[in-house]
Structure 1
Amino acid sequence: MKRILSFIIIIFLFSFISSVHSEEAKKDYKSEDPSPEWTPDPDRKTRFKEEEKDDLNQKALPKSTNFFVYGASIGSPGSINFNLGYYYKDIVIRGSGGHWGPHWWGWQADLGFSFWKTSVIAHSVSVVIGQFQVDPFAPELGRGGQTSYPTGSDFPGYQHRNPTFEDAIIRSYVAQQNPNLATFLEYESRDKQKVTLNQRYIGLTYDFLLGNFFLQVGGGIGSGDYKNPQLLIQLGYFFDTRSY
């Protein structure tokens, strides 16, 4: 009987201690409740505590309009070109060119419309006008688009790279009358020499500016020593004045 009574008392004490411990655990949980605080809004609405502002939204984005670009490119019109341009809203104004010798130079002026522009990328189409002059050594007719070019001689019958029928008659007559003069004129009008090629053109191009990378590709038509249409292409690296 005493053992049964002792066993009941032990069970009662254990139950009492367990209930006290669970009450203390509930109090601690309530004190650590992570639910957000709320405050009444002036317009009689309930709102939670304001969330922290996103730092990314606070940073000023780079200006995507009204900025200068400057740099260098390779391609038309001057082989190696210096470039200066201005993006004003949706209008693009740009000039490019280079001068590397008395007969090796070129220039081009662009007026374009930017149909897609962000702080990183700009797509535009441009109307371009330009002119270039080159003096390659021993150019081949048809290579590079040239249709004809003069020789190094101004003597009648020896002025054309590809002799015409009239040129052939004149050369035959000179050879009969003075073989030494004919040999000299043939040497002056030889193929392996520098010639001057000139071209003026107007064209339409697509322009692509991605960060500092610039690409322009299009076509042009004009007058000069090259046949139409001509390929217009520039590939370059530009700096800009956009503020970050």
Structure 2
Amino acid sequence: MKRILSFIIIIFLFSFISSVYSEEKKKDYKSEEISPEWTPDADRKSKFGAEEKDELTQKPLPKSTNFFVYGASIGSPGSINFNLGYYYKDIVIRGSGGHWGPHWWGWQADLGVSFWKTPLITHSVSVVLGQFQVDPFAPELGRGGQTSYKTGSDVPGYQHRDPTYEDNIIRSYIAEQNPNLAAVLEYQSRETQKVTLNQRYIGLTYDILMGNFFLQVGGGIGAGDYKNPQLLIQLGYFFDTRSY
């Protein structure tokens, strides 16, 4: 009995000593400071480099009003035109034209209203006023819509094409008197003629400015050497002063 009691006491003491030793080990382990391999800084930078931000920076759109445009176009009124315009709120003011010789020039002034616009596209209608003049060599009657024009001859009876009623009377008389002279004058007034065609007009157009591309289409009426109505069209490329 004494042996059994002694064995139990020994086991109890061994267990008590083991538990005390384990508690001491745990305390020593907790007291040690464990530092991480890297720590983030206040400005979101780490020892491995700066972190990338996920924020998207969107480029602002250009303003849709209050800006100048300038560029070049082909078409009416001067065949090759220089353009300058200003878009102020819903009002459009624009001028175009070119001067390429004494009898090859044209100009046009536009006053319009924008009825639909975004930062990238603007639709407008304009009232236009303009004039142009050209001097084609030996033009064919009816080409370009002209009904009649003066020839380069100063001889009475050969100054117009189509000839007028008075011109036909004079030409018939000259042909009866001197057929050779009539043939020469006929040749000079038709084959070697240098004419000047002039037109003044007022019209209505539809205009679209899409980015930097410009298109104007419309019609006009006026007085001069061309039939009414006339087709008005411009196609060009414009730079602008819009801020981005």
Give the TM-score normalised by structure 2. Answer: 0.74
> Aligned AA for 1:194?
K
The unaligned stretches of length 5 or more in structure 1 are: 1-51
What is the one-letter code of the residue matched to 2:83?
Answer: N
- Identify the residue that residue 169 of structure 2 maps to in structure 1: 169
Asked whether the 8 Å contact 2:70–2:85 carries over to 1, the reply is yes
- Distance (Å, rounded) in 1 between the aligned partners of 2:87 and 2:120: 13
- Measure how far apart 1:165 and its partner are: 3.5
Distance, in Å, in 1 between the alignment partners of 2:202 and 2:179 is 47
Question: Contact (CA 8 Å) 1:93, 1:112: kept in 2 or not?
Answer: yes
User: Which structure has the bigger radius of gyration?
Assistant: 2
Q: Find the residue that maps to 1:60 and give its secondary structure.
A: coil
Structure 2 counterpart of 1:215, one-letter code: L
How much does 1:63 deviate? 1.4
Q: Which runs of 4+ in 1 moved over 4 A?
A: none
| Other-structure match for 1:188 | 188
Alignment of 1:18-33 (within 5 A): none
Match of 2:48 in 1: none
Letter in 2 for 1:81: N
1:242 and 1:100 map into 2 onto residues whose CA distance is 31
- Confirm whether residue 107 of structure 1 aligns to residue 107 of structure 2: yes
Residues 88-112 of structure 1 deviation map (CA, whole Å, 9 limit, x = unaligned): 0100000000001100000000000
Q: Distance in 1 between the 2:82 and 2:120 partners?
A: 22
CA contact (8 A) 2:138 2:190 kept: no
| 1:92 match | 92
Q: Normalization by structure 1: what TM-score? A: 0.74
Partner of 2:218: 218
| Distance (whole Å) between structure 1 residues aligned to residue 194 and residue 83 of structure 2 | 28
Paired letter, 1:97:
G
Q: For residue 154 of structure 1, report the CA deviation from its aligned partner.
A: 2.3
Relative to structure 2, which stretch is displaced further, 75-84 or 151-160? 151-160
Q: CA deviation at 1:162?
A: 2.0
Would you say the 8 A contact 1:151–1:191 is kept in 2?
no
| Deviation, structure 1 residue 150 | 1.1
For these two proteins, the number of residue pairs brought into alignment is 191
| Residue in structure 2 matched with residue 8 of structure 1 by the alignment | none
1:189 alignment partner, SS class: helix
Residue matched to 1:28: none
Gaps of 5+ in 2: 1-53
Distance (Å, rounded) in 2 between the aligned partners of 1:156 and 1:232? 36
Match of 1:134 in 2: 134
